């Protein structure tokens, strides 16, 4: 690492984050589970496999259209588990609270967590609370860890994409990041942009029930669709070709991105799943997605190719091709 001090973009989920993780954390904590670089770790137990994951939430503002930091913390951890084909069971939660935070605000956050957990069918079974002096944190930070079980026969991992696979997504991209940014900056549009934050375990299990042979599932959070597909392309040593005309982007999100000079492909999502599916199962998986409320706008947005392994390209509307690289630098800090 060239930098001598921690920089903001090292938390963006983009290239700087990957360099920090690879050159510091994985080097220090190196083991076979970490080296897989998946959303959660699978460990063998006597009667099968369990999935473990953990994540921290520092979103600003803590309340935004479509959710708050509490519901986001549950959704994010549930989704990290089900992206490995796991059925989420239990969560733990750690709070870091700033002196002066109102009880009313904390109650709002906790209630949203409780509601999100009930909807996802998980239990919050352990927790921890710390309070720091005023100015030493920003209102509330939350860490959640989760555990789930992976049924026999499910093999979902970032290394499994193969040439010929279809790339599917369950709906519009960029909604969460733009909802948070517009709230933070006080930007108002004719129609309020709302976060897509949601637990995806119900949708994922409808897809796996319909076609258990899905190769890869990944939620495109920090770094957006572009960075997530670059990660998969590198893990599987394949190329990915996106179809520009098929990308689902809401008009208000596209307009806000244009005003702010942002590319929706790099804006975070919290209720979307990218699925890499063998060609023989693509239409079955797509039909199953469309039968679920969170997948009614699902579509095929690209394909996995043998050319240019480790890279993502977009076929543009006029028939050209352009490179879609991993996020560089910090685009939207503190959006999750």
Question: Residue ranges of the domains in the chain?
Answer: 31-150, 165-324
For residue 271, give the nearest of 115, 74, 64, 84 by alpha carbon: 74
Fold of 165-324: Phosphoribosyl-aminoimidazole Synthetase; Chain A, domain 2 (3.90.650)
Q: What is the pLDDT along the chain (336 residues), one digit of tens a residue?
A: 677 887 878 777 788 888 888 888 888 778 888 788 888 888 776 666 999 999 999 999 999 999 999 999 999 999 999 999 999 999 999 999 999 999 999 999 999 999 999 999 999 988 888 899 999 999 999 999 999 999 999 999 999 999 999 999 999 999 999 999 999 988 887 788 999 999 999 999 999 999 999 999 999 999 999 999 999 999 999 999 999 999 999 999 999 999 889 999 999 999 999 999 999 999 999 999 999 999 999 999 999 999 999 999 999 999 899 999 998 887 788 999
For residue 125, give the nearest of 95, 172, 90, 156 by alpha carbon: 90
d(CA 154, CA 148): 13
Residue 197 tokens read as 């934050």
Structural contact between residues 76 and 120, judged by C-beta atoms closer than 8 angstroms: no
For residue 298, give the nearest of 138, 160, 169, 180 by alpha carbon: 169
Q: At what angle do helices 69-82 and 201-210 cross, to 10 degrees?
A: 20
d(CA 261, CA 257): 6
Domain 31-150 - what CATH class?
alpha beta
């Amino acid at each position: 690492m060239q930098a001598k001090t921690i920089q903001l973009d090292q938390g963006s989920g983009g290239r700087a984050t990957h360099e920090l993780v690879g050159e510091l954390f994985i080097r220090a904590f190196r083991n076979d589970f970490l080296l897989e670089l998946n959303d959660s770790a699978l460990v063998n137990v006597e009667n099968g496999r369990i999935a473990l994951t953990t994540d921290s939430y520092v979103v600003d503002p803590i309340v935004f259209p479509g959710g708050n930091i509490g519901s986001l913390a549950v959704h994010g951890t549930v989704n990290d588990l089900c992206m490995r084909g796991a059925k989420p069971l239990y969560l733990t939660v750690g709070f870091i609270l700033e002196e002066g935070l109102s009880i009313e605000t904390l109650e709002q956050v906790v209630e949203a967590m409780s509601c999100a957990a009930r909807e996802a069918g998980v239990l919050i079974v352990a927790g921890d609370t710390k309070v720091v002096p005023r100015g030493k944190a920003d209102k509330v930070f939350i860490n959640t860890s989760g555990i789930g079980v992976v049924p026999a026969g499910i093999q979902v991992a970032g290394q499994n994409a193969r040439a010929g696979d279809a790339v599917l997504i369950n709906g519009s991209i960029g909604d969460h990041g733009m909802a948070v940014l517009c709230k933070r900056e006080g930007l108002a549009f004719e129609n309020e942009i709302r976060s897509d934050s949601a637990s995806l375990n119900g949708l994922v299990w409808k897809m796996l029930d319909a076609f258990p042979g899905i190769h890869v599932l990944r939620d495109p959070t920090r770094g957006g669709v572009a960075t997530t597909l670059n990660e998969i392309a590198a893990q599987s040593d394949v190329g990915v070709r996106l179809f520009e005309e098929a990308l689902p982007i809401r008009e208000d999100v596209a307009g806000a991105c244009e005003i702010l000079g942002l590319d929706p492909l790099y804006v975070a999502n919290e209720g979307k799943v990218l699925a890499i599916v063998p060609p023989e199962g693509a239409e079955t998986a797509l039909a199953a997605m469309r039968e679920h409320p969170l997948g009614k706008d699902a579509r095929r947005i690209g394909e996995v190719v043998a050319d240019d392994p480790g890279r993502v390209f977009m076929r543009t509307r006029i028939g050209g091709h352009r490179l879609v690289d991993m996020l560089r630098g910090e685009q939207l800090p503190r959006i999750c």
